[in-house]
Amino acid sequence: MKHIGIVACSAEGAALCYKAICREALTVVGKNDHPRITLDSIPMARWLPAFDAKDYAGVARFMLDSARLLAAAGADFAICPDNSAHLAWDHLQKQTPLPWLHIARVVGEEARRRGFRRVGILGTRYTMGSPMYPDCLRELGIEAVIPEKADFDEVDRIIFAELVDGVFTDASRRFYNGAIARLADRGCDAVALACTEIPLLVRSEECPLPTLDSTCLLARAALEEALR
């Protein structure tokens, strides 16, 4: 099995992705077995000024710092369980010592497999305000829809004020489900949970739309790549 490298940004998202790989491996690989995984975590506080400045070359520098450490540790490829970090993709690919899986492309492939045509996008303001998901989905014949401003702002606020710190409240869950219902009213047939902490808040069985869980989908894709 190939050695998986995880480039962490937020602790909650990275921990969830790590656990998702191991849990998926229970049925795919075997009891108590999974590929070797090395995770490197540069504190998110170091990343945020670059995000706020839209300095994606700066974001890529953090990813490359981790990628070089992971390559030295023997990783065969890397993933980053942080959707917004993929805005640095072009800068990253110019210098990376490892191949990567792209989270939005993984989500897009699952949306196409399931036959979705119009997908709502929930994530940070960086992700929702960028062309990343619209471009990735458009290539697959799928339309991306972001929330209207009030929902956009509150979705982002909850991520940074609560979710990245491991705070998951019923009030925020109800708000997210309401925002998803409003995306359904605008014709969406699925919603991408395009922030790796959102699956810890939104429960698929209560959600007004079918969910595309970016964390679990990236974990599954990493496991498939490790076994390929």
pLDDT of 166-194, one tens digit each? 999 999 999 999 999 999 999 999 999 99
Average the pLDDT over 15-26 and give the result: 97
Q: What per-residue string of b and e applies to 60-69 under the rule 16 or more CB within 10 Å gives b?
A: bbbbbebbeb
Please give the CATH topology (third level) of the domain spanning 4-102+217-227: Rossmann fold (3.40.50)
E runs forming strands in the chain: 4-8, 37-41, 77-79, 118-122, 143-145, 190-193, 211-213
pLDDT at position 134: 98
Q: Partners of 4 in the beta sheet?
A: 37, 77
Average the pLDDT over 77-94 and give the result: 98
Query: Which of left, alpha, beta for 141 (phi over 0: left; psi -120 to 50: alpha)?
Result: left
Q: What is the pTM of this model?
A: 0.96
pLDDT at position 147: 98
- Among residues 197, 225, 216, the alpha carbon closest in space to that of 4 is found at 225
CATH code 3.40.50.1860 region(s) in the chain: 4-102+217-227, 104-213
Q: Which CATH architecture does the domain made up of 104-213 adopt?
A: 3-Layer(aba) Sandwich (3.40)
Average the pLDDT over 130-149 and give the result: 98
Average the pLDDT over 126-152 and give the result: 98
